[in-house]
Amino acid sequence: MAMSTRCHAPLAACVFLVCAVSMAVYTAFPLSMSPCTNSLSRALLAISGLDPYITSCADHDDASAARLSDGGGSDNIIGGPIVTNLLTCGNATLPPHALPPFYCCPPMTTAEPINFTFPDPSEPLRVRRPAHAVGAEYMAKYERVIALMKALPHSDPRSFYQVANIHCAYCTTSYRQANPKLGVQIHFSWLFFTFHRAHLYFFERIAAKLLGEPEFALPFWSWDVPEGMRMPVEFANSSSVLYDPIRNPSHAPPKLVDLDFLGPEKNFTDEQQIQHNLRVMYKQMIGNAALPSLFHGQPYRAGQNDMPGAGTVELAPHNTVHTWTGDITLPNVENMGDYYSAGRDPIFYPHHNNIDRLWQAWRDAGVARGYRGHVDFTDPDWLDSSFLFYNEDARLVRITVRDVLDTEKLRYTHAGVGMPWLDAKPPTTPNVNTKKGSLKSVRFPVSLDAAVSAEVRRPRVLRSRHEKMAQEEVLVVEGVETNGNELVKFDVFVNAMEHEKVEAGGRELAGTFVSMKQPSMDHRTGKRKPMKTSMRVALNELLEDLGADGDESVTVTLVPRRGNVRIGGLRIVYMTE
């Protein structure tokens, strides 16, 4: 893979070229200019040698700085797939007060991993069904699966202990990249959906084998449809192996899930909560997810720092359902509310099964409505990235992203439960103060101790339908930085300085950033480093709904909800994928 020359040696020239051409940086306050490639056409990028996916200037700067300060060399080349190797698996980077076990690497084997092969096409198609509707008998099977896995010795890679640890290993930088100072973290990147699909695939096959039922399919927790918005009752029965005592007791059924959780409990009626949840779903699946990188997450290539930026669904409802389920009184909200421990709760797998279903739902919505951008990446760095899992025969398998794109080839499908959120676009708020004339200028980076409003210039206004189809206008919140030892949530409002007037989930609430604790480490020095990522909010449809498509700027209001976070800057770019 000759991916080593992305705006590489002549960096200064690239910086100049890109910034000069893109004009994607707004002005209202001083911000350091840096290469921001989103607004460039692919053709132009090809000429410049720049990567069309490097969307966070902050990340790009990091990578360049590393390259320069380390004096170059193969260690510092960015590009190519993320590939994990068992030999590089080491200590997990855990938050303080983590609960044991502390080591997450899978059992060693001297055998080389075998490459994944598809199951026989004549195998029965497993039909994954919704936990709330599938019946007690079926849920009893899932219960038996967990009991069988828990009965295996910890040394068995198919044991519940090890299956849970796989997730921990891939989310705590236990695996190192070829550049050993960098760990592998599959969250907050374009590997999010694909890693978890592979994890569930092997989980399901181990389950079927242990049960002796080749057609066994994993149930899903369909928290996005009203009938599924409670924790399935089987998980709340304290005498069941599906019960996890390390959860939030007040969220047991009949409590409805809050897909926007983290912060004070909302005093909603059930109807209000359902409507709110459907609106969250609409924004994350439709309004904000018009392009593959907005849905899947930002490109993450070999040599690059982890956590370039999460996709919409990963931030919420994925992260929010995690934190809603975990014990919020514990420092790390175990089990579900932190990456390292989430796989220890048997509800993790039905939760991710719904996430997996939503990937297909996003594609389906694109087909049904003619949304051009609801398609997966074709970038070889994505397709060739790979993960390691032990299969049902306890053989170590290397599976690539390319292998998990077609569920029929994997011999499973999801039973339909509808997409009631497809039409749940929230209404705009009347009489909300959209702008306050002259804003106090904000000096980024800013510590988000209180709400901050800033005017962000739009490089283009009143674009034609054709232009909008070709490019999504996107607000980038860059340099989102925390110390990694905090849960963080902040909301992004557009044209609503009086954000308190916007009812929960209202249209002006353009996006929400949510992260669980996410400690990062420089593995060469062994020192913790801040967690640094970025966030994106799609503007095409939003600005039309707000009647602001002709405005030369938008007013962005960032409202902290939990945790300490710094924001590096705001800018508007035009993205093609």
Known binding-site positions for Cu cation:
167, 187, 196, 318, 322, 352
Q: Which residues are annotated as a binding site?
A: 167, 187, 196, 318, 322, 352
Interface characters, 142-181, with ligand C2O (x: CB under 6 A) = -------------------------x---x----------
Nearest-approach distance from CB 531 to ligand C2O, in angstroms: 15
Nearest-approach distance from CB 318 to ligand C2O, in angstroms: 6
3-state secondary structure of 176: strand
For position 198 contacting ligand C2O by CB under 6 A, the verdict is no
Nearest-approach distance from CB 56 to ligand C2O, in angstroms: 21
Residue 64 vs residues 7, 181, 352: alpha-carbon distances, Å: 9, 15, 35
Binds ligand C2O (CB under 6 A): choice among 318, 507, 532, 571? 318
Nearest-approach distance from CB 302 to ligand C2O, in angstroms: 20
Tell me the C-alpha distance between 537 and 291, whole Å: 11
| Subset of residues 31 to 90 that bind ligand C2O, contact rule: CB under 6 A | none
Beta bridge partners of 512: 491
For position 187 contacting ligand C2O by CB under 6 A, the verdict is yes
Q: Are 334 and 341 in contact (CB under 8 A)?
A: yes
Closest of 106, 246, 74 to residue 177, by C-alpha: 74
Q: Rank residues 229 and 313 by Cβ distance to ligand C2O and give the closer one.
A: 313
> For residue 557, what are the contacts with CB-CB under 8 A and spacing of at least 6?
451, 452, 453, 492, 493, 494, 496, 497, 499
Binds ligand C2O (CB under 6 A): choice among 176, 276, 301, 322? 322
> For residue 6, what are the contacts with CB-CB under 8 A and spacing of at least 6?
49, 50, 51, 54, 78, 79
Nearest-approach distance from CB 375 to ligand C2O, in angstroms: 23
Closest of 495, 474, 490 to residue 566, by C-alpha: 490
Q: How far is CA 180 from the centre of its chain?
A: 24
The residue with tokens 């890109």 is 18
Nearest-approach distance from CB 244 to ligand C2O, in angstroms: 15
Q: Rank residues 339 and 513 by Cβ distance to ligand C2O and give the closer one.
A: 339
> For residue 71, what are the contacts with CB-CB under 8 A and spacing of at least 6?
none
Q: Rank residues 198 and 496 by Cβ distance to ligand C2O and give the closer one.
A: 198
Tell me the C-alpha distance between 446 and 464, whole Å: 35
Q: Rank residues 322 and 571 by Cβ distance to ligand C2O and give the closer one.
A: 322
For position 255 contacting ligand C2O by CB under 6 A, the verdict is no
Closest of 368, 405, 403 to residue 292, by C-alpha: 405
Q: Rank residues 292 and 337 by Cβ distance to ligand C2O and give the closer one.
A: 337
Q: Rank residues 26 and 202 by Cβ distance to ligand C2O and give the closer one.
A: 202
Tell me the C-alpha distance between 517 and 531, whole Å: 9
For position 411 contacting ligand C2O by CB under 6 A, the verdict is no
Q: Which helix (H) or strand (E) holds 15?
A: helix 11-22
Tell me the C-alpha distance between 482 and 5, whole Å: 31
Nearest-approach distance from CB 502 to ligand C2O, in angstroms: 28
Q: Rank residues 300 and 339 by Cβ distance to ligand C2O and give the closer one.
A: 339
Q: Rank residues 195 and 444 by Cβ distance to ligand C2O and give the closer one.
A: 195
Q: Rank residues 53 and 349 by Cβ distance to ligand C2O and give the closer one.
A: 349
| Subset of residues 388 to 407 that bind ligand C2O, contact rule: CB under 6 A | none
> For residue 326, what are the contacts with CB-CB under 8 A and spacing of at least 6?
246, 247, 248, 333, 334, 335, 336, 337, 338, 342, 345
Binds ligand C2O (CB under 6 A): choice among 176, 276, 352, 357? 352
Tell me the C-alpha distance between 144 and 237, whole Å: 14
> For residue 20, what are the contacts with CB-CB under 8 A and spacing of at least 6?
none
Q: For residue 220, which phi and psi values (nearest 5 degrees)?
A: -120, 150
Q: Rank residues 145 and 316 by Cβ distance to ligand C2O and give the closer one.
A: 316
For position 357 contacting ligand C2O by CB under 6 A, the verdict is no
For position 307 contacting ligand C2O by CB under 6 A, the verdict is no
Nearest-approach distance from CB 235 to ligand C2O, in angstroms: 16
Q: Are strands 126-128 and 412-414 parallel, antiparallel or unpaired?
A: parallel
Give the count of residues interacting with ligand C2O (CB under 6 A).
9
| Subset of residues 98 to 137 that bind ligand C2O, contact rule: CB under 6 A | none
DSSP string, 298-329: ----TTSPS---B-HHIIIIIHHHHHHHS-TT
Nearest-approach distance from CB 314 to ligand C2O, in angstroms: 8
Nearest-approach distance from CB 186 to ligand C2O, in angstroms: 7
Closest of 450, 474, 478 to residue 463, by C-alpha: 474
Beta bridge partners of 477: 535, 570
For position 197 contacting ligand C2O by CB under 6 A, the verdict is no
Binds ligand C2O (CB under 6 A): choice among 15, 169, 342, 410? 342
Structure tokens at 24: 């994607």
Nearest-approach distance from CB 233 to ligand C2O, in angstroms: 22
Q: Rank residues 44 and 99 by Cβ distance to ligand C2O and give the closer one.
A: 99
Nearest-approach distance from CB 428 to ligand C2O, in angstroms: 32
Q: Rank residues 294 and 316 by Cβ distance to ligand C2O and give the closer one.
A: 316
To 10 degrees, what angle do helices 192-211 and 348-369 make?
120
Chain residues in the site for ligand C2O (CB under 6 A): 167, 171, 187, 196, 318, 322, 339, 342, 352
